[in-house]
Structure 1
Amino acid sequence: MVTALYRRYRPETFAELIGQSQVTDPLRTALRTDRVNHAYLFSGPRGCGKTTSARILARCLNCAEGPTDTPCGVCPSCVELSRDGGGSLDVVEIDAASHNGVDDARDLRERAVFAPARDRFKIFILDEAHMVTPQGFNALLKIVEEPPEHVKFIFATTEPEKVIGTIRSRTHHYPFRLVPPAQMLEYVQHLCDEEKVTVEPGVLPLVVRSGGGSVRDTLSLLDQLIAGSEGTKVEYERAVALLGYTHGALLDEIVDSIGARDSAAVFSAVDRIIQTGQDPRRFVEDLLERLRDLIVVAATNDHGAAVLRGIPADQLERMSLQSINFGQAELSRAADIVNAALTEMTGATSPRLHLELMMARILVPASDQTERGSLARLERIERRMGVEGAAAPAATAPAAAPVRAAESVRAAEPARAPEPVRAAEPVRAPEPVVEKPAAPAAAAVEKPAEQPVEKPAEPVTAAGPVTFAQVKDSWPEILEVVRSAKLNAWMVLQTATARGFQDDVLTVSFVSENDSNSFKQPNPSGDSVSEHLRKAIVSVLGVRVKFIARVEAQASAPSDEQAPEPDAPATDSSGWAVASIPESEPVAGPRQPRPVVRKTAADASLDKNGDKARYGESVVREILGASFIEEQTVAPRVVPQAEGN
């Protein structure tokens, strides 16, 4: 008969104990310095080395060369307490589950007063000490508190909170922990090499995962796989079937189908899982584990090799491609859905229904109205468009190819005839003076000397022609950009509405006159509301616009006195748009376009009625270089005529 692995490879020294350095290091130090306490309490999960450590401590105390941290292994005490030994008379192991009463405690107390038969100490090891009743612990209290010099107590338990406080306070408590997966993986691989057993890739990670950090559980599963394998080779297919995990090929098929949005393949795989009798909850656990691996692979540059130990290189490459097909936002969202479904499937009467609904929610991100669902839909759109990574800000300098393409498009458009630029006229002149078209340089000379001539802004080329529908759809995002840049500007624009967009001219309507005036107010430092809105549009849509600012009442419907919108506004020498300001027309005869009147800043101070003052203010803004297009209706000027004309 073959001895179980966990018995054949039970550690005999503290150096052989794995994953418990927080216990072995201080114990070995205490043994070397001869500071051994009379009572110890070892606690922790099952199979992590509590009883084994108690036996090693007993060997260290009763070794002929001891107390020592490294037993010699040849003295009678060490031989009797080894893995193949029959036990020592001076080391008593008591199963506290069956010896937990007052009578058992009284018997132990009577045996403790006798001196050891041969060794240095008489050591009592109480396994599963939490099973002792409070009356039994109270009966042991006096001897545990003040034992004879030759008596040592070692309590081992998985539930230290059930040991009464008066006992715990008289012991040195050492908590044991579960062994980390990486260390456990190395340990079981070493045991397979010792046993001369060949294990296929992917088997040992499943064994370690099934063991859950318990050394005894892990070795029992590995022993079972070795015993049930043909020859000396442990196959992956048999390990998956025995341990109950989802086959890696099936997981790859489902993940690839979800990444490709192939609903038919996904639900076909779900049906195959149910028809083969696999536990749906175990499948959901495996799928959540795979999504976690994909998130790690997507977040690390080395495909997760430093984190995902024990996974073959070809599997890591496959998972890297799967993470690219998903995207990080969609992977995170799918993991949240699977985790929620795993919680809901606890005690569910119809696990197949929960499984299929989970798949439907993963496949349809439109059903998720949260921010994560929106990010998943955006990633899906970007993958369809061939966008790689996050989009660069539109305000950065564009590449040479898009600039040349935009220039070629502008060159292909039919040339427009330049509109006449009107010179400024005196305030008291009854009629405007019309001049011939001037060169852009001449128009720049007409500006006041104290104002510097602004250079045209660098063109920001968008990916394609921007339409009014795109502006309307992006308007909330544009306002959010303004809000993050300057809150005061956002407060002015939160009631604004985009009303039209043509030839890079955006018509914006406001509810109140105050908001409209705040929007039009220039700021030489570039901190105006309009400049913040322009920068936001550049960052979102990649196009630099000019504005027409209106009040809502004016933008609702044009009256008979208002002139129709021009097809394309003219531009002055600075590159900003100049509005055509219509004047009144004669009552009789067809309506004719009126010449554009350019007034100086002095007109605003000389005009007396409200319309003239406001018109003069808009001209001042234009002279200062603000890129506004204002449409105003100038009150008709009545020229008295002699009677009879």
Structure 2
Amino acid sequence: MSAYQVLARRYRPQTFEDLVGQETVVRTLRNALATGKVSHAYVFSGLRGVGKTTAARILAKALNCERGPTPDPCGQCVPCREIAEGTSMDVLEIDAASNRGIDNVRELREVARILPVRDRYRVFILDEAHQLTGEAFNALLKILEEPPPHVVFILASTEKHKFPPTILSRCQQLDFRPLPTETIAQRLKEVAAREKFALEDAAAHLIARAAQGSLRDGLSILDQVRSFVGEAAVDAAAVSQVLGLPPLEFLVELWQALASGNPGRALELVAQREAQGGDPLLLYQELLELLRSLVLVAANREAPLPYPPPFREALADSAAQVGLASLLRILSLAISGRELVSAAPSPGLGVMVAVGKLALWPRLVRVEALLAGNQAVAPSASPAGFSEGSLPLGASPLEGFLDQVGHKLGVALAARLRSFCELSLGEGELLIRLRSGGPNATAKALQEALASLESLARELDLAQKVRLVVTEAEPSLEQKVAADPRVQAVLEVFGGKITKVEEQS
């Protein structure tokens, strides 16, 4: 039985055209090769698994190809094949994590002074170069200042900020970006097609999200899930089971509970997921990613979402209905909840409390509205695209009631309601409290329209009945003092008048 070669190695890019998601880096290197302006030292920095070492090997092939230097190495000549196999005597890959001392760098300097055995350039690829010691960096600095013409250094690192400024200033720096979820998902589907096994679109996107910008990690996860399913198709359920990630349908259901302000349902879902063996921390992280995506698509409906097409439109509709301001509030509360999760005795308990508090966000909106003097009640509808509500989420039912009054009973009456009435919801009852001082015509018109208002309130699922109460305005402190008989007697005896009234505690 021949040894199995994992997908990440089998589909490792061999040319610049195969290096997906790094167009800026590829263009820079190809132009340098085409114009003969290759630097003597490069720093390739970026997330793991995005192509740093792969690009270094391709650059080495481009420099030493029998047809080169060329932006398009043939891949067939002896130098190209040996570099691809890692057996070239003139292209040395060094693990800086285990060869990080000053003696290792001194030895490297001595080798660098020797002419190449066969090829044009001696290329040194230092992986994880940020782990070199300070003394080793100082030793490397000397040869970077006065490099031999036949030497090219490529320092690959995931933590460029750990390099001394003196090293960075002598190297050309190329930053490798994390790959977009859609790019990774598309590449996974291409690999699956070439390997002749079925990969569902939802599964590809779930793996791509789990890879977090690293194509190599994505291919490794695909290998793992493929081993789990055997000859069956790789679907989202299999990926969720292998990685412990919540299915997208579950996340959407949890989002519905949060958006509608239903803590009971939200906590039930969290407990259900934990009972199934799901990692609560992964659940919370996926929830944060979903909220982040909703915020982005609320700001720009065309923003890319890391989810398969069937879910994108519904999520975009939901985000538009909730509104950007409310989504920012929810995401802010969710981020604050991470501290609560970290401080909890167990992750499951922390996530349960954080999600429960998150579902109470409509009450916070209502408290703020009441403190601001607005009697509007916070919304409680479900997000669009998944279930229907009577009023748009993010709008107050009482505001919606007043809008409907304007349509059905006339704009003038609605304006009077807003100006002279206080509306509140009781148990199955909509109370319209008319403050004293409002025009009598308003009270009369409301009294005549009570039947219509009651029907409208039931239609909007606000109350079973409507009650109108006319209240007298509370007299001011000055009015109370002026009406006091003792004060009136004093004013009459001395011929005075009240200029100022203060209440003492």
- Shorter-chain TM-score range: 0.7 to 0.9
Would you say the 8 A contact 1:327–1:379 is kept in 2? no
**Is residue 347 of structure 2 the alignment partner of residue 356 of structure 1?**
no
**Mapping 1:46-195, distance limit 5 Å:** 46-82=48-84, 85-195=85-195
Q: State which of 440, 449, 462 in structure 1 corresponds to 2:413.
A: 462
Q: State which of 428, 437, 440 in structure 2 corresponds to 1:503.
A: 440
What is the DSSP-based 3-state SS (H/G/I as helix, E as strand, rest coil) of the residue aligned with 2:413? Answer: coil
TM-score normalised over the length of structure 1? 0.58
What is the DSSP-based 3-state SS (H/G/I as helix, E as strand, rest coil) of the residue aligned with 2:379? Answer: helix
Q: 1:306–1:198: structure 2 CA closer, same or farther, 3 Å change rule?
A: farther
5+ residue gaps in structure 1? 404-459, 474-497, 507-549, 561-645
Q: 1:109–1:334: structure 2 CA closer, same or farther, 3 Å change rule?
A: closer
**Structure 1 partner of 2:308:** 311
Would you say the 8 A contact 2:128–2:158 is kept in 1? yes
Would you say the 8 A contact 1:258–1:266 is kept in 2? yes
Supply the distance in 2 between the matched residues of 1:385 and 1:124 (Cα, whole angstroms). Answer: 64
Aligned-residue sequence identity (percent) comes to 36
Q: 1:50–1:257: structure 2 CA closer, same or farther, 3 Å change rule?
A: closer
Q: CA deviation at 1:249?
A: 3.4
Would you say the 8 A contact 2:8–2:219 is kept in 1? yes
What is the DSSP-based 3-state SS (H/G/I as helix, E as strand, rest coil) of the residue aligned with 1:107? Answer: helix
What is the DSSP-based 3-state SS (H/G/I as helix, E as strand, rest coil) of the residue aligned with 1:120? Answer: coil
Q: CA deviation at 1:181?
A: 2.1
Q: CA deviation at 1:150?
A: 2.0
Q: CA deviation at 1:311?
A: 1.7
Would you say the 8 A contact 1:196–1:232 is kept in 2? no
Q: State which of 335, 342, 366 in structure 2 corresponds to 1:346.
A: 342
The one-letter amino acid paired with 2:342 is T
Q: Per-residue CA shift, 1:184-239, capped at 9, x if unaligned?
A: 22222222222222122421122111111112212111121122222151022121
Q: 1:260–1:214: structure 2 CA closer, same or farther, 3 Å change rule?
A: closer
Supply the distance in 1 between the matched residues of 2:40 and 2:193 (Cα, whole angstroms). Answer: 40
Q: 1:175–1:373: structure 2 CA closer, same or farther, 3 Å change rule?
A: farther
Q: 1:267–1:86: structure 2 CA closer, same or farther, 3 Å change rule?
A: closer
Supply the distance in 2 between the matched residues of 1:133 and 1:96 (Cα, whole angstroms). Answer: 10
What is the DSSP-based 3-state SS (H/G/I as helix, E as strand, rest coil) of the residue aligned with 2:178? Answer: coil
Would you say the 8 A contact 1:5–1:223 is kept in 2? yes
Q: CA deviation at 1:81?
A: 1.8
**Structure 1 partner of 2:38:** 36
Q: Per-residue CA shift, 1:133-158, capped at 9, x if unaligned?
A: 22223333333322332222222222
What is the DSSP-based 3-state SS (H/G/I as helix, E as strand, rest coil) of the residue aligned with 1:18? Answer: coil
Number of residue equivalences: 430
What is the DSSP-based 3-state SS (H/G/I as helix, E as strand, rest coil) of the residue aligned with 1:71? Answer: coil
**Is residue 288 of structure 2 the alignment partner of residue 337 of structure 1?**
no
The one-letter amino acid paired with 1:10 is R
Q: 1:556–1:51: structure 2 CA closer, same or farther, 3 Å change rule?
A: same
Supply the distance in 2 between the matched residues of 1:42 and 1:19 (Cα, whole angstroms). Answer: 15
Q: CA deviation at 1:244?
A: 1.5
Would you say the 8 A contact 1:208–1:218 is kept in 2? yes
**Structure 1 partner of 2:363:** 366
**Mapping 1:411-430, distance limit 5 Å:** none
**Mapping 1:382-397, distance limit 5 Å:** 386=390
**Mapping 1:613-632, distance limit 5 Å:** none
Supply the distance in 1 between the matched residues of 2:54 and 2:233 (Cα, whole angstroms). Answer: 30
TM-score normalised over the length of structure 2? 0.73
Supply the distance in 1 between the matched residues of 2:313 and 2:364 (Cα, whole angstroms). Answer: 31
Supply the distance in 2 between the matched residues of 1:189 and 1:174 (Cα, whole angstroms). Answer: 28
**Structure 1 partner of 2:10:** 8
What is the DSSP-based 3-state SS (H/G/I as helix, E as strand, rest coil) of the residue aligned with 1:2? Answer: coil
Instruction: Please tell me whether Structure 1 or Structure 2 has the larger radius of gyration of its CA atoms.
Output: 1
Supply the distance in 2 between the matched residues of 1:360 and 1:117 (Cα, whole angstroms). Answer: 67
Would you say the 8 A contact 1:13–1:71 is kept in 2? yes
**Structure 2 partner of 1:224:** 224
RMSD over aligned Cα atoms: 4.0
Q: 1:19–1:462: structure 2 CA closer, same or farther, 3 Å change rule?
A: same
Q: 1:240–1:77: structure 2 CA closer, same or farther, 3 Å change rule?
A: same
Q: CA deviation at 1:62?
A: 0.8
Supply the distance in 2 between the matched residues of 1:309 and 1:467 (Cα, whole angstroms). Answer: 44
**Structure 2 partner of 1:431:** none
Supply the distance in 2 between the matched residues of 1:101 and 1:277 (Cα, whole angstroms). Answer: 45
**Is residue 205 of structure 2 the alignment partner of residue 205 of structure 1?**
yes
**Structure 2 partner of 1:380:** 379
Supply the distance in 1 between the matched residues of 2:97 and 2:332 (Cα, whole angstroms). Answer: 43
Supply the distance in 1 between the matched residues of 2:299 and 2:182 (Cα, whole angstroms). Answer: 20
Point out the structure with the larger helix share: 2
Q: 1:297–1:30: structure 2 CA closer, same or farther, 3 Å change rule?
A: closer
Q: CA deviation at 1:112?
A: 2.4
Supply the distance in 2 between the matched residues of 1:224 and 1:373 (Cα, whole angstroms). Answer: 54
5+ residue gaps in structure 2? 383-387, 425-434, 444-474, 486-505
**Structure 2 partner of 1:578:** none
Q: CA deviation at 1:337?
A: 2.4
Q: CA deviation at 1:26?
A: 1.7
Would you say the 8 A contact 2:206–2:236 is kept in 1? no
The one-letter amino acid paired with 2:282 is R
Supply the distance in 1 between the matched residues of 2:381 and 2:141 (Cα, whole angstroms). Answer: 71
**Structure 1 partner of 2:281:** 281
The one-letter amino acid paired with 1:216 is R
Supply the distance in 2 between the matched residues of 1:465 and 1:26 (Cα, whole angstroms). Answer: 68
Q: CA deviation at 1:361?
A: 2.8
Q: CA deviation at 1:32?
A: 0.8
The one-letter amino acid paired with 2:340 is E
Supply the distance in 1 between the matched residues of 2:6 and 2:133 (Cα, whole angstroms). Answer: 33
Q: CA deviation at 1:329?
A: 5.4
Supply the distance in 2 between the matched residues of 1:141 and 1:385 (Cα, whole angstroms). Answer: 67
- Between the two structures, name the one with larger relative contact order (CA 8 Å, sep ≥ 6): 2
Supply the distance in 2 between the matched residues of 1:187 and 1:376 (Cα, whole angstroms). Answer: 53
Q: 1:277–1:97: structure 2 CA closer, same or farther, 3 Å change rule?
A: same
Supply the distance in 1 between the matched residues of 2:25 and 2:418 (Cα, whole angstroms). Answer: 70
Supply the distance in 2 between the matched residues of 1:559 and 1:86 (Cα, whole angstroms). Answer: 102
What is the DSSP-based 3-state SS (H/G/I as helix, E as strand, rest coil) of the residue aligned with 1:233? Answer: coil
Q: CA deviation at 1:362?
A: 3.7
Supply the distance in 2 between the matched residues of 1:193 and 1:95 (Cα, whole angstroms). Answer: 34
The one-letter amino acid paired with 1:343 is E
Supply the distance in 2 between the matched residues of 1:137 and 1:47 (Cα, whole angstroms). Answer: 25
Would you say the 8 A contact 1:333–1:372 is kept in 2? no
